């Protein structure tokens, strides 16, 4: 499978997992369900535009690289951060498996997206140097 297609699948999957995770955070009370959470919508749209509209372009790779890096940070914050909800408050509660699974899956797909974006940028730089 082509790397750009894999990047598209990984990025769209990460956005889906991120939206599910944010919804789960709001339902559990870890995030307030106010208007501030709506800022996630334009951020996810920007990520999808970088992935889908600007696919194969340097700007698309940069956008996807940056958002993927942020996506990798979400599980890190939940597992290690001050809240530490993944190992502490969430353990033993209803839906804990789904909560932790979305964090792990998001970390995997975001890291894959980061690596594929970096590879795409590197390919572009190498082909530019060769010409």
Domain holding 88, by residue range, is: 3-125
Condensed to tens digits (0 to 9), the pLDDT of residues 81-119 reads 555 665 566 766 787 888 889 999 999 999 999 999 999
Residue 131 belongs to some domain of the structure: no
Tens-place pLDDT, residues 52-62: 999 999 999 99
In the DSSP assignment, the letter for residue 1 is -
As given in the structure block, the two tokens for residue 95 are 């839906």
| Residue whose pair of structure tokens reads 């942020």 in the numeric block | 70
The CA distance from 29 to 27, in Å, is 5
Is 62 a domain residue? yes
**pTM for this one?**
0.87
| Domains in the chain, number | 1
Residue 130 lies in a domain: no
Q: Is residue 24 part of a domain?
A: yes
Taking the C-alpha atoms of residue 74 and residue 8, their distance in angstroms, rounded to an integer, is 20
Residue 50 has pLDDT above 80, yes or no: yes
């Amino acid at each position: 499978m082509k790397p750009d297609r894999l990047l598209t699948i990984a990025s769209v999957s990460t956005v889906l997992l991120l939206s599910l995770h944010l919804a789960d955070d709001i339902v559990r009370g870890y995030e307030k369900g106010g208007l501030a959470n709506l800022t996630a919508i334009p951020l996810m749209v920007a990520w999808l535009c970088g992935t889908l509209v600007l696919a194969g372009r340097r700007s698309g790779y940069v956008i996807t690289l940056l958002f993927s890096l942020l996506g990798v940070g979400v599980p890190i914050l939940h597992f290690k951060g001050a809240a530490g909800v993944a190992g502490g408050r969430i353990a033993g509660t209803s839906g804990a498996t789904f909560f932790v699974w979305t964090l792990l899956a998001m970390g995997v797909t975001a890291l894959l997206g980061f690596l594929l974006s970096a590879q795409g940028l590197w390919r572009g730089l190498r082909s530019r140097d060769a010409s």
